[in-house]
Amino acid sequence: MRDPEYAFRAARPEDAAAIEALDASFTTRTVFHVAVTENGFTLQEIPVDPPLHKVFPAEDTEAADDPGTEEDPGTEEGSDSRTFVAAAAADGGLAGFATVGYAAWNRRLVIEDIAVAPAHRGRGIGRALIGRAVAFARERGAVHIWLEVSNVNAPAIHAYRRLGFTLCGLDTALYDGTPSAGEQALYMSMPCR
């Protein structure tokens, strides 16, 4: 989707602070309950009352670890990482971003982080950022695109499914020892045609 209200581009070093400050919180009226069985697991979407409001804690990483936002090669031609941003045309403010990395050994593009600011949701920004990731994946020769999402982030799970991602795995311990303890990590992928 092309929206004249937004400019999509590779991140620049001056975007680092805005990327770090972007509000990635969400509110949901449903979550996915994970039931682990002897031979796998099942998901059931269940309502939550009151609605769950999730705020992500600040990451415990250096800004230089963000591909394309500091003085690393994230935006250089030939690099296997990129950060794409959506800037509001009116004021240039950051509306969203996606950070991706390509692993040559298994030809997988990983969506490491993606967020759209609450005031800009529902306008196709996430879809356009995923589109940038897909184009980058094709440039690199990826055979599939992969991401991780919490079972409580039902809005994102539904969005990823609409974009063609399917469930491919589960990690029940990924968030142990973090503020998200008790949640489960769902892995989703889609082929890169």
Q: Are 87 and 9 in contact (CB under 8 A)?
A: yes
pLDDT at 79 (0 to 100): 78
Q: Does residue 30 surpass a pLDDT of 80?
A: yes
Per-residue pLDDT band for 14 (boundaries 50, 70, 90) equals very high
Alpha-carbon gap, residue 82 to 179, rounded angstroms: 27
Alpha-carbon gap, residue 8 to 54, rounded angstroms: 27
Per-residue pLDDT band for 78 (boundaries 50, 70, 90) equals low
